[in-house]
Amino acid sequence: MKGAATDLPVLRPFRAPPVAATGWSPVALASAGAGATLAILFAGSLAFAQAAGGAREPAYVAVMRWTPLIVQGFLFNLSISVLSMALGTAVGAMFGLGQLSQGAATRRLSWAATQFFRNAPWLVLLFYAMFLLPFEMRVAGVTISFPAWAKAVVGLALPVAANVSEIVRGGVRSIPLAQWESAESLAFTRRQTLWMIILPQAVKRMTPPWMNLYAILTMATTLISVVGIQDGLTITRAALVAESRPELMMPMYLLLLLLFFAYCYPIARATLALERRFHVKG
């Protein structure tokens, strides 16, 4: 009946939030405020470095000289984050669906792998990947090199896979049982129900936590500097050593922080927006 009330969980319609009369949304205002704060801190750190350096070369000149290399290192961090997220998502989706398997062995193995990698420190997993994986492998008589960055991708993908596994499991479990029962009454197989009915609905609910996990992973890519890989943090430290000016430490690291902020903050805000848009009414 049209307009009849229901207490079943439903997804809200996919509608864009209204735009304020000024043309600035709350998200845009918050982003501008946070970005302006960091920009002011960066300018203040340059002024402090200039005052501490005295008659030496202007601080902004030294920072600008190293900016292209720092940006290049930051882009390498982003490359590692994208590859790790892709690998972790593929493996984690299999673990997550494995936890929902009707086979007891598959379900238990997937649960054990998920819990182990989810509760292990990221840095420890990264060290294991760096020092236990070989530098090259022979497959069908062909030698395949395994450089340090590829090991770092594997090391970071392991905890990501475990978290994606829980995201997939939770997303599928959040779909009401009536969906499964309705599909069964229409003679759908379990696989058809999962791929054609359950997962298309669960993807909306899984997207916000998946995006949040990617933002966390991007910030965690600086861990690769600990194992000797040249990333943005490593290049920033090398620049400070080359300049031999302690007063440049604050503006140099703030520059790197601004780069990560400019990339991760919009992802975090988009995650909150999607959570509100796909909110499920209980």
**Structure confidence by residue, pLDDT tens digits, 182-240:** 888 888 888 888 888 888 888 888 999 999 999 999 999 999 998 888 889 999 999 98
Summarize the confidence of residues 2-20 as an average pLDDT.
50
Q: Does residue 16 lie in a domain region?
A: no
Average pLDDT over residues 164-193: 88
Structural domain contains residue 13: no
pLDDT of residue 59: 78
pTM: 0.81
Question: How many domains would you assign to the chain?
Answer: 1
The whole-number average pLDDT for the span 21-28 is 48
CB 85 within 8 A of CB 160: yes
- In this predicted model, what pLDDT tens digit does every residue of 36-47 receive, in sequence order? 777 788 777 777
| pLDDT, tens digit (0-9, with 9 covering 90-100), for 86-120 | 999 999 999 999 999 888 999 999 999 999 999 99
Q: What is the pLDDT of residue 121?
A: 93
Residue 22: its pLDDT value, please? 43
Q: pLDDT exceeding 90 applies to what percent of the chain?
A: 39
Evaluate if residue 253 carries a pLDDT over 80.
yes
Whether 236 is covered by a domain: the verdict is yes
Q: In terms of residue numbers, what domain contains 219?
A: 25-281
Residue 11 clears pLDDT 80, i.e. is over it: no
DSSP of 188-228, one letter per residue? --HHHHIIIIIHHHHHHHHHHHHHHHHHHHHHHGGGGGGGT
CATH number of domain containing 245: 1.10.3720.10
Domain for residue 91, yes or no? yes
Interval 129-155: pLDDT, tens: 988 888 877 777 788 888 889 999 999
Average pLDDT, the chain: 83
pLDDT at residue number 83: 96
Choice among 9-23, 50-64, 158-172 with the minimum mean pLDDT:
9-23
pLDDT of residue 16: 47
Nearest to 42 by CA among 257, 256, 251, 261: 251
Question: What dihedral angle (degrees, nearest 10) is formed by the CA atoms of 120, 268, 265, 238?
Answer: 10
What pLDDT does residue 29 have? 54
- Alpha-carbon gap, residue 153 to 84, rounded angstroms: 5
